[in-house]
Every structure is written in structure tokens, then in C-alpha cells.
Structure 1
């Protein structure tokens, strides 16, 4: 009963969070199609983003081959459990620049997924926010007066269907078919002043909206084998060939009044600006999403400990968004490195709750592929967490914590120091069980 109540609580939290726009406060979400939101399950993120390890009781959303695995020995070699996973996170960020600092926080839904075993196959379905846009920025003249004010919200989501197949003992392959969809809304206010240097009563705001959609695929394989009957070696590889999103764009211009005390914007009049997009051939445009390749390996003792390393390569140097271009930004190929693992004190202990807890830790470093004012935007994080057992069938609640840094204060940019807290449920049940007795 407790487990069901917790599930209802998390589901309500997920729906409420998903209904909110944005999900980030990062100024770097201004670029491209937003900041990358999905970085794996809470279990992955607690190990520095490591997704090499797969098992029969957790959903691994980064590698579709994980949906197929061998049956559980605990139940006489019968069917693997049906797995359900849902997760959310809360982030606190401190922004730092040469001119000052600020703070922001956000809570978001991260993923919901279901995995169903079918003999040597495994099928997965789910939904996850993939990128997130949520920023408020401004630029000033040399005398300190506001020149422009920028704001944006939205992001890209993925709904997916995955199929994995157990080729032979230890070797699985799989594929994700994903439908990408979402919208990004951006606005720009260009401030005007009278001859005395005072802000005029009326300002003009440009509103842009892009509705994005497309299909993408992700291929994966995982292999594990025992070494001298004691240690287990695990390796994995994934490849996303990239895809092109269709972007249907709209533009409107609004005459607004800005409150001098609160900064709130009141709309006086709005006119259609889609003709300007049509004249530029941008009423419908395309967004090229880069390909991604990852490879990882690790070693450990089954159900006791594991240590692994994983690298990711993204061809972000070829990223292109025809609608949003800027002279101050460029893209380069991205690279990421994750190192992490877990430890279980004694999984088969008859007593002692903490003997069954999964302790996780790791770190990650990455070059995001974004270059602003000639500065490559990099990111670093240190993480740890725990998997807390819930009842039977190896269900658990997973807690994750991460401290990290993104960006730099060089060239007038903003550095983000963040703390992320993540929570998920990994619930297991057996749907297809042969009756042994009448």
C-alpha cells in the first residue's frame, strides 16, 4: 500500500511539473533548441551519467539493448519482471558574472517508462523531456541603460518505442524509435528612449514561436561475461545517427507598456508578422540535430559492486537552426566522459536494511559543443546517490544528488554553479507467470 501511495504522489508531481513551461533557468538555453535536459535515469545520473551497466530490475533509457536480458535465477529461470520507472528533479542554480550574481530554482518531470519482457525480446515505451528552454536575459548600453531584453520557454520532448533482443547469453541488441515534438517561444524587447534619455511609454516586442517535430532512432548493444567465475565484464555501445526536425514558425509584434516598478509587460496591440518570415523563406524551416556515439566498459562483482567508464561524442559542429543564427555563437563537436559505479554491502543478507541499499557515486566532464564569444562552454559534475529497497520484487526508490558547474565568466559570460536533487521510483512486478499448481 505504501508503495502504491508513493507512486500516486510521484505521478501527480510528474504531471504538475510536466505542465509547467521551461524546466530550466539557464541562459545557455537561449541557444539552439535549448539545454539538454535528459541525461539518463536517476540511477545513471548518480554515477556521473554512466549508463554502461544494465540489469533485470532497472530501466536503462540510454541503451535500448537493456530491454532484453536473461531471466531471473531467483524464480527458477522464469520470466523477467515488468519494469516501471518514473523520475523528477529539482535544481538550484547560482549565476555568477563580472557584474553580479543571482539565484534560480526549478522542479521538473524527467521521464516515465514501462518495460515488458517477451521471451528473448524486451519492449519499452515512455516519454521524456529532451531539451529545455527557460531564460531571461538583458543587454545594456555603455551608460548602463537597458538595450534589449530576451526571454524564452519551451523545449523538445521524445515519446519512444524500444525493442531489445537477446542474441545469445550475455549479448543484447536494440533500437529506439522516437517521435520528437515540442515548441520554443522566444521574445525580444528593444528599448527606445526619448531625447532626454528617458524610456518611452510604448515599446515593441517581437514574439517568435517554433513548433518542432521529427522522427529519430537510437541503436544499441550491450555485452557482459564472467571473468574467472568471479568478476563480470560489461561493455556497451550506442549510436544515434542524427535527424532533421521540421520547424513551423510564427512571428508577431506587440506594442507593450512596461511597468517601471515591477517590469511587467502589458500588451496594447498585437499585429501579425508572419509576412516577414515568408519573405525570408522561414515560415517553415529545418533544424539539423547532430549524431551521437557512445562507448563504455566496466568490471565488477554481480550484485555487489561495479566500476565503469563511458565516453560520448556528438557531432554538434554540424548543428544548424535556420531561424536562429547569431554572430556571437558557433558550434563545435562535443565530448563527454563519465566515471562511476555502485556498491551493495550484502544483497542476500537476511536482515539489516542497509545491507540491501545500493550506494552510487561518480563524476562527469563534458564540452557541450556551444561556443559563445569565442569561449567553449564546458560542464562538470560530481554526483552520488542511493537505491532504497521497497518491499519485494526488487522495487526501489532512487535518490540522486549532483554538484556542478557550467560555463565561465570570461568574455562577459555567465557561470552557473548548480545543485541537482533527483528522485525516482523503479517498480517491478511479474505479469506472465505459468501456474505450477491447479
Structure 2
């Protein structure tokens, strides 16, 4: 038996830097390494998706297959008959524009890893996975000027250039199990450690030599435990001999993280450059970060073994999320709803099919996201169009999924940013029989 293993680490972070109140800046406040909106709170939520349904724009809570493992619904783990592993790489590009400027960037990262092993084939399975829950990766450049502090000085306004770079986020390490309760019903549970790791570096340089350059580091860390539940049921031969209707749902309970934030900078102490903690002993050093309650439900109808259609809805109670380090940024949170609709075509299932194109799986879909932020009265909405192809192995149940997306997020109203988003995910899905009956027995 082959076991699939991987070590995956990716970090993301958030930031805020305060300038003098009388400053006036003409800023290029556009993210140059990730989404501009990932700089708010503890980052943008990262949706958990199955590689099998990513090209449809849906998570896949109601879609089960023995070819690809999935973290979307713990109930799926009780149905597996193979040892399965998945490793996903993602590339995301952004073109951000406001009323004054634009910026383009791309971000390459590992996305998630999962290993599922059947303890009792097609009856009981266990899963171990790593998945990012929030991600914030950005760099913001700003330039402007302000009046010097010395009012008697004849010096003109002081120019400044600041740069804020952040990485980090919340990553989930989860173990769980799925159990087949009846022929057509399964349930699952996942227990997780949710690790918060955020780093931010802010640098400011001034045109006036009386103002020394400033380098400030903000590090936020903590952890909390989470619980997730899933249900999956299906019915075959509903309207004809080849169809199947399946329903799936998952619930992710709120996760509270007791966090610690350190703010540090370098200063000269006794002619030596020394790292100094600025908030040691401060009451705002310790705080709370809370991920909201999440509910995801879907319906999949297989018209035949060649075509299936899926509709899903995701709801997150961001009104109940907490980010105690900034009351202003916490106030931006609002409840989030995301809907998706997609279709798949499986020509490789036709035994008479011939040729390369007929040996692939094709996916298409779209999704609409109300967003979890409302800034200056503007909901930060996202619409995405998705497509994907799957390369199916003719010798095993392994596959490779290549999924694409393009969409629009945000608005240029109220000095905000509109983003054109494009990207792809590449997933390697390995599957094999855990137990093989000897040929002669």
C-alpha cells in the first residue's frame, strides 16, 4: 500500500499603520502580492473545495466520488473504498484598480493536503488534512506628506514613503472519521487545531533628516480547537435507471482563538542596535480572534452516469466573528452568503469512447459571494466563473484535476478597490485499494 505524505506550510497576515492626524497622502493603496481586501481583519476566508468540483465553482458537500478525496464533507469519508491522498497547488492573479492607479500581481502557493484511509472498506474511514481557513498576503506602498512638527521651522512639508508587507492567516489541521449508517446515509465528524500565525512589517522613510526611518514588526499568534459535522445521503434510480439524487450538508462550529500580539522595533541602546518590544505588559497584548459559524448545503443530481448538476449554498455568521485588536475592522464584518451552480460531463465513462478528448472530465460553473465585509456602506461582493478538466487514469482510480477561475471583486466607490481575479488550481489525486485479495485464495 502506498501512503501519500506532504508537509505544507503557508502563512498570511494583516496590518494597520497610523500616520499623523494632519497628514495628507496620495496613496497607491493597492495590494501588490495578494488581494487588497485580505488586509482587513485576519484575512479573507478561504473556501474548502473538493478538487473534483472546484471547476464547477462549488465545494462538493453533496458530490461523492471514489476518485478524489475531499475535505468539504466529513460524511464522505465513511464511503471510501480506497486509500486516497490529495495535494493541491494554486495560482491566483489580481489586477486591482482604484480611481487613481492600478496594480497587478500573482501569488503561487500550496493550497491543501489530505490523506483518507478506509478502516472498514465502504463503511468506516479516517482522514487527516491541512487546510488554510483565512489568508492575507499583501504589500501596500504609500507616499504623501505632512506638516513638520516644529511650527517655527521654515522647512516645507515633509514627504514620506511607507511600505506595509504582511503574511499569515489561520490554518486548520484536522483529523476525523466518517461512518456509513445505512446503505444510503453516512455521517462524519472532524476535530481540528486551528493555528493563527500572522506577521507584518511596516517601514517608513522621511525626506527630512530630523525624522528617523521607522521599522515596526507586528506578530500575532494563537490557537483554538474546532469541531465539524457532516451528513450525506443519496437515492438511486429516482426517475430512471441511471440517475441519482444526493444531498449533503456540513456545519463548522465557531472557533475562538486566544491570541497574543507583539509589537517590536529596533532602537539604539548603548550604541547597539537592539530589538525592543513596544507593547510588553500592555493590556492589548492579549486578545481574541473568533471564526464564525459556517453552514454549507448542496444538492447534486446525476441525470445519467455522464452528466451531473450541482447547486450549493454557503452561509457564515461573520456578524459574530471577533477581532479584538481593531474595533473598526471588526465593525466591517457582516454575514456572508455564497451560492454556486455547476455541471460536469464525463465522456470517459462511455466504454465505446475513443480519443484523448473523450478520456477527460469537463466541469463548468459560476458562483456569487456577498462577501464578509461591508466598508463605507459597500458590500465587497465577488462573482466567479469556473471551468476545469480532469485527467482520469486508465489503470487506477487516480486522477489530475486542473481548474480555472476568473471573476470580479469589490468596487471603486468610496475610494475602494475593484479587483479582476484569475487563477487555477492543480490537484494530484492518488487512490488505491487498501486491501487486495490474493489472486489465488
Shift of 1:138: 4.3
Instruction: Answer whether contact 1:205 1:255 (CA < 8 A) is retained.
Output: no
Among residues 336, 339, 358, which one is paired with 1:337 in the alignment? Answer: 339
1:109-138 Cα deviation digits (max 9, x unpaired)? 011111111221111111122222211224
**Residue in structure 2 matched with residue 294 of structure 1 by the alignment:** 296
Distance in 2 of aligned mates of 1:20 and 1:334: 24
Which runs of 5 or more residues in structure 1 are unaligned? Answer: 71-79, 257-266
**Residue in structure 2 matched with residue 359 of structure 1 by the alignment:** 362
Among residues 233, 243, 255, which one is paired with 2:245 in the alignment? Answer: 233
1:216 corresponds to 2:226: yes
Distance in 2 of aligned mates of 1:138 and 1:123: 46
Alignment of 1:101-180 (within 5 A): 101-119=102-120, 120-139=123-142, 141=144, 145-146=159-160, 149-180=163-194
Which runs of 5 or more residues in structure 2 are unaligned? Answer: 14-31, 147-156
Alignment of 1:368-387 (within 5 A): 368-387=371-390
Distance in 1 of aligned mates of 2:92 and 2:210: 38
Distance in 2 of aligned mates of 1:109 and 1:81: 24
Q: 1:316 to 1:380 in 2, by over 3 A?
A: same
Among residues 215, 237, 244, which one is paired with 2:256 in the alignment? Answer: 244
Shift of 1:146: 4.5
- Most deviating of 320-329 and 291-300: 320-329
**Residue in structure 1 matched with residue 50 of structure 2 by the alignment:** 41
- Most deviating of 41-50 and 26-35: 41-50
SS of structure 1 residue aligned to 2:325:
coil
Aligned length: 402
Among residues 323, 326, 331, which one is paired with 2:325 in the alignment? Answer: 323
**Residue in structure 2 matched with residue 77 of structure 1 by the alignment:** none
**Residue in structure 2 matched with residue 311 of structure 1 by the alignment:** 313
Alignment of 1:11-30 (within 5 A): 18=9, 25-30=34-39
Instruction: Answer whether contact 1:220 1:237 (CA < 8 A) is retained.
Output: yes
**Residue in structure 1 matched with residue 421 of structure 2 by the alignment:** 418
SS of structure 1 residue aligned to 2:52:
helix
1:336-367 Cα deviation digits (max 9, x unpaired)? 00111211124042552433311011111112
Distance in 2 of aligned mates of 1:64 and 1:113: 12
Instruction: Answer whether contact 1:202 1:255 (CA < 8 A) is retained.
Output: no
Shift of 1:327: 6.5
Shift of 1:206: 2.9
SS of structure 2 residue aligned to 1:427:
strand
**Residue in structure 2 matched with residue 53 of structure 1 by the alignment:** 63
TM-score w.r.t. structure 2 length?
Answer: 0.83
Distance in 2 of aligned mates of 1:245 and 1:348: 50
C-alpha RMSD of matched pairs (Å): 2.8
Q: 1:328 to 1:238 in 2, by over 3 A?
A: closer
Instruction: Answer whether contact 2:48 2:131 (CA < 8 A) is retained.
Output: no
TM-score w.r.t. structure 1 length?
Answer: 0.84
Q: 1:187 to 1:413 in 2, by over 3 A?
A: same
**Residue in structure 1 matched with residue 432 of structure 2 by the alignment:** 429
Shift of 1:142: 7.7
SS of structure 2 residue aligned to 1:58:
coil
- Most deviating of 40-49 and 363-372: 40-49
